[in-house]
């Protein structure tokens, strides 16, 4: 009869448990750990928590999409008034064919990850029954705008919101 080496067996089991725990932590790590790319045009997939930036709005959307399923644009913020794209855009997407509820409550998404687009929005366009509320502080705190559907010049919103948004909510 062979006697097991209990010390060796305990060491192997401890190493296996440690590896399994580490693998579990890695599996649970959010997609936000991915590096953001450079570029003036960013697309943010709210469901996957994935921000991709590129040199054009189309390239940012292409970098942000996964496989054959197209992303649905919910909100696009522009660095220029009148929806000008020359200086940059921030596009919020969701996979598939998501449509907002068209009601202000409950809030459907809170966007606190805007990359280099903080304090740059000068116009806003919403899609798929969505509206956007801008906040002047991170984490959707501080002073907020009214709910905005489409606005070619955010300076005309009550309180003047051009180049002021640090985060926003969508409903």
- Give domain status of residue 15, yes or no: no
- Give domain status of residue 1, yes or no: no
- Give domain status of residue 22, yes or no: no
- Give domain status of residue 14, yes or no: no
Q: What pLDDT sits at residue 47? A: 87
Query: Of the given ranges (25-29, 69-73, 148-152, 154-158), which has the lowest mean pLDDT?
Result: 25-29
Cis peptide before 87 (omega within 30 of 0): no
Q: What pLDDT sits at residue 71? A: 81
CB 72 within 8 A of CB 94: yes
Domain count, the chain: 1
Instruction: Say which CATH number the domain at 166 has.
Output: 2.60.20.10
Identify the domain containing residue 44 by its residue range.
Answer: 36-170
Collapsing DSSP to helix, strand or coil, 145 comes out as: coil
Q: What are the strands, taking DSSP E only, across the chain?
A: 41-45, 50-54, 71-78, 89-95, 109-111, 123-126, 132-137, 141-144, 150-151, 167-170
Mean pLDDT of the chain: 81
- Give domain status of residue 21, yes or no: no
């Amino acid at each position: 009869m062979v006697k097991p080496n209990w010390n060796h067996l305990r060491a192997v089991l401890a190493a296996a448990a440690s590896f399994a725990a580490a693998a579990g932590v890695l599996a649970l790590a959010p997609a936000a750990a991915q590096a953001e790319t450079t570029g003036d045009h960013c697309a943010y997939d709210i469901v996957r928590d994935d921000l991709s930036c590129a040199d054009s709005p189309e390239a940012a959307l292409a970098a942000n999409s996964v496989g054959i399923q197209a992303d649905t644009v919910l909100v696009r913020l522009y660095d220029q008034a009148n929806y000008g794209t020359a200086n940059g855009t921030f596009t919020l997407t969701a996979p598939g064919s998501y449509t907002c509820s068209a009601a202000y409550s409950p809030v459907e998404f809170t966007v606190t990850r805007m990359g280099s687009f903080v304090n740059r929005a000068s116009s806003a366009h919403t899609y798929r029954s969505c509206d956007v509320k801008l906040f002047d502080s991170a984490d959707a705190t501080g002073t907020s705008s009214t709910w905005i559907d489409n606005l070619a010049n955010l300076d005309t919103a009550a309180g003047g919101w051009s180049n002021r948004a640090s985060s926003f909510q969508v409903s």
